[in-house]
Amino acid sequence: MTAPHKTFNVVVVGGGLVGKATALALAQSGLRVALLAQASAPLPPDAVFDSRIYAFSASSQALLERLRVWQALDMSRLGPVYDMRVYGDAHAELHFSAFQAAVPQLAWIAESSHIERSLDAALRFQPNVSGFETRAQSLDITSAVATVGLANGQALEADLVIGADGAHSWVRGQMGATLKRRDYRQTGVVANFKAERAHGETAWQWFAGGEIIALLPLPDNHVSLVWSARTEHAQELLALDNAQLAAEVERVTHATLGALECVTPAQGFPLALQTVDRLIAPRIALVGDAAHLIHPLAGQGMNLGLRDVAALADVIGRKEAFRDLGDTVLLRRYERSRREDIRALMLATDGLQKLFAVPGPLARAVRNTGMALVGGQPFLKRWLVSAALG
């Protein structure tokens, strides 16, 4: 790469799951793609599972199958979810079943690193993708081209720049989008455990004292914890040793899965709601956390980002021959196609978080009544499952 400029159809900035899926989807359609991403960090040799675990919905599975990535996964490292049990105040309970919803499974629980390794392998064999392990430091947009200046002194020219660079997106900052962020004053505490009792391919969730505790099924009777805790409480949880944390998780989950053994040290990440006033600008589009950030209580953040990828790829795939990839008319089609899905999921997750965070007997009675209403209406449960599947 000795030339000062390289020319591509698309430059994708950001190398997580969403960025890599974006680059692969567009490259498979015949476009020349530059991917700006650091190499994936390998798992520590003694790690049983990655700390970063996601619930992949049917829509995400369909996209990864389309990219021929899902078929290459080691299925022994994925955990299907056939049932979900949600517990509220007192004895309020909701049960969702794949069998009752007439679907193969409600979701797949998978490690981020496992999916990324499969994406990495597909990208290595994709001649239309050029990888750059450096960061972008300048962006110049004209009516004819977008030029991305790199920290290594190179410059990339493209018709379209896609920001897949996360919640603190550099691309979003360059396009001047207005960002609104509301801190939930909660921290997501994640860790993995070996369970004494069989989890039965069931995802468990408890709403307790304004906090949300979820245990997601992994292979070989392991479970992944996602505890949305008040930030002060989260710091206390993160200060516990493995045995102490396991004992605390056993306590708050009423020992539903028996004794737990912590096999992955706990990590924490701040929780916030984040919206932007637009997903596009001339020659720029945003996907994934660069475009939206939601509460993890429904486990839908990654799925929302992958649906961005699918929608953008579909819009580009239907582009008229005369239209430029960076044409604002084309990009508006993408933005319009995502508006309803993003807004609906943001309202749902934010509303649920607020509802279960309100203290007092009246709020508790409203929650219990609402859960009983949903539990007694099969069509409502089917609609919720359908929405979660994407």
**pLDDT per residue of the chain (390 residues) written in tens, 0 to 9:** 334 568 999 999 998 999 999 999 999 999 999 999 987 766 666 667 888 899 999 999 999 999 999 999 999 999 999 999 988 766 677 888 898 888 999 999 999 999 999 999 999 999 999 999 999 999 999 999 999 999 999 999 999 999 999 999 999 999 999 999 999 999 999 999 999 999 999 999 998 888 999 999 999 999 999 999 999 999 999 999 999 999 999 999 999 999 999 999 999 999 999 999 999 999 999 999 999 999 988 788 999 999 999 999 999 999 999 999 999 999 999 999 999 999 999 988 888 788 777 766 766 667 666 666 655 556 555 656 566 555
User: What is the radius of gyration, based on Cα positions, of the chain?
Assistant: 22
Q: Note the pLDDT of residue 1.
A: 36
Residue 255: φ, ψ to 5°: 50, 35
Q: Note the pLDDT of residue 390.
A: 59
Cβ pair 115, 65 in contact under 8 A: no
- For the chain, give percent helix, strand, coil, nearest 5: 40, 30, 30
**In terms of CATH architecture, what is 5-54+114-181+274-352?**
3-Layer(bba) Sandwich (3.50)
Q: Which two tokens stand for residue 10?
A: 């698309």
Residue 138: φ, ψ to 5°: -150, 150
Q: Is-same-fold flag (5-54+114-181+274-352; 82-106+184-271+357-389)?
A: no
Q: What per-residue string of b and e applies to 268-294 under the rule 16 or more CB within 10 Å gives b?
A: beebebbbbebbbbebbbbbbbbbbbb
Q: Note the pLDDT of residue 304.
A: 96
pLDDT digit string, tens, across residues 1-15:
334 568 999 999 998
Q: What is the dihedral of CA 319, 322, 323, 325, to 10 degrees?
A: 80
Q: Note the pLDDT of residue 3.
A: 43
**What's the pTM?**
0.92
Q: What is the dihedral of CA 7, 9, 14, 16, to 10 degrees?
A: -130
Residues 6+ apart with CB under 8 A from 183: 270, 271, 272
pLDDT digit string, tens, across residues 143-200:
999 999 999 999 999 999 999 999 999 999 999 999 999 999 999 999 999 999 999 9
| Alpha helical stretches, state H, the chain | 17-28, 58-66, 98-101, 112-124, 170-175, 231-238, 242-252, 301-317, 328-357, 361-375, 378-389
Q: Note the pLDDT of residue 166.
A: 95
Q: Note the pLDDT of residue 384.
A: 60
pLDDT digit string, tens, across residues 43-68:
666 667 888 899 999 999 999 999 99
Calculate the alpha carbon distances from 303 to 243, 270, 307, 346, 387 in Å: 33, 19, 6, 13, 11
Query: What are the sequence ranges of the domains in the chain?
Result: 5-54+114-181+274-352, 82-106+184-271+357-389
CATH code: domain 82-106+184-271+357-389 is: 3.30.9.10
Cα–Cα distance for residue pair 185/228, rounded to 1 Å: 10
Q: Note the pLDDT of residue 387.
A: 60
